[in-house]
Amino acid sequence: MKMPKERRTYCSHCKKHTVHEVLRVKKHKASELKAGQRQFRRVMRGYGGFPRPKPSGAGKPTKKVGLILRCKECKKAHSTIGFRVKKLEMEE
Please report whether residue 34 resides in a domain: no
Q: Domain count of the chain?
A: 1
Helix (H, G, I), strand (E, B) or coil at 11: strand
pLDDT above 90: residue 12: yes
Please report whether residue 47 resides in a domain: no
CA-wise closest residue to 5 among 19, 15, 25? 19
Tell me the per-residue pLDDT of 19-53, one tens digit each, with 9 for 90 and over: 999 999 998 898 999 999 999 999 889 888 888 88
Alpha-carbon span 65 to 68, nearest angstrom:
10
Please report whether residue 15 resides in a domain: yes
Please report whether residue 70 resides in a domain: yes
Domain membership of residue 74 as a residue range: 1-27+62-92
Please report whether residue 3 resides in a domain: yes
Please report whether residue 44 resides in a domain: no
Please report whether residue 40 resides in a domain: no
Please report whether residue 39 resides in a domain: no
Helix (H, G, I), strand (E, B) or coil at 39: helix
